[in-house]
Amino acid sequence: MPPLIGVTCSTEAKDADAPPADRLAHTYTRAVLMAGGLPVLIPNVAETPIGDLLGRLDGLLLTGGRDVAPAHYGQLDVHPSVELDTLRDAVELPLIREAFERDVPILAICRGIQALNVALGGTLFQDLPSQRPGFVSHRQTAPRHEATHQLVLEPGSLAARALNVTQLRVNSFHHQGVEYVAPPLKATGYAEDGLIEAVEAEGRRFVLGVQYHPEEMVNVCESSRRLFRTFVTAANG
């Protein structure tokens, strides 16, 4: 049986009177299926039994979405650009901590790398354009599958092994980024401006976060396809 990969979702409501709904782009689930995994969507419902859920999952994919609330990393002042998803935070952050403790393989993408870092004790830049105006643009207007800046990976790192490269041009759709790295993690990938764009954990089966969106590039980028295959293989171990 293919390994079961839990996939986190975003929350949205069509209007103020509508109940919350979970939302996920098909690109994530297609990438998991292409890699040989079976995706299972995780609802942003407070009653979700995290322990029981993780007991049945073989891997965890943390997807993109709106911003993690700055209060979770000790910042009470919120930049005007920050868009919150409090229902998701309430489920996803405890889920990450429990998955990390259980050594469940984790692949974290965009918001996912940020949530992984925050859940384990790190901090974020709330808004790169205002806090680091000298950085390259990290919100491209080019099509989502197109690469717009360079990612440099530490040789021998999990990131470099999973992608099978030490340099790669990637897409970019974010206004926040990893600032201080959580103690269980280490930075192993950087954008050309020095922004941390890959983190991982040593001594775990597979814990890797990337800031770019590999699920948007699997049709044009072998390294991105390999990343998902390596993750699913780890989950199947």
Longest dimension (CA), the chain: 51
Q: What DSSP line would sit under 71-91, residue for residue?
A: GGGT--S--TT--B-HHHHHH
Helical spans, DSSP H, in the chain:
26-34, 50-56, 86-102, 111-119, 128-131, 158-163, 222-235
Catalytic residue, chosen from 92, 179, 200, 215, is 215
Alpha carbons 221 and 192: distance in angstroms, whole number: 19
CB atoms within 10 A of CB 77: 6
3 state SS of 212:
coil
The contacts of residue 49 (CB under 8 Å, 6+ apart) are none
CATH number, domain containing residue 179 = 3.40.50.880
Mean pLDDT of 64-79: 92
* Residue 215: active-site member: yes
- Polymer length in residues for the chain: 237
Contact 39, 7 (CB under 8 A): yes
Contact 153, 166 (CB under 8 A): yes
How many domains is the chain partitioned into structurally?
A: 1
Catalytic residue, chosen from 197, 213, 216, 221, is 213
pLDDT for 157-212, tens place per residue? 999 999 999 999 998 876 889 999 999 999 999 998 899 999 999 999 999 999 99
Is pLDDT of 140 > 50?
A: no
Would you state the pLDDT for residue 12?
Answer: 87
Catalytic residue, chosen from 9, 92, 110, 138, is 110
Tokens of 6: 């839990």
3 state SS of 64:
coil
Band (pLDDT 50/70/90 cuts) for residue 133 is low
pLDDT for 102-128, tens place per residue? 999 999 999 999 999 999 999 999 987
* Residue 79: active-site member: no
Structural domain containing residue 212: 4-235
Tokens of 220: 């044009």
Contact 216, 159 (CB under 8 A): no
* Residue 175: active-site member: no
Would you state the pLDDT for residue 147?
Answer: 61
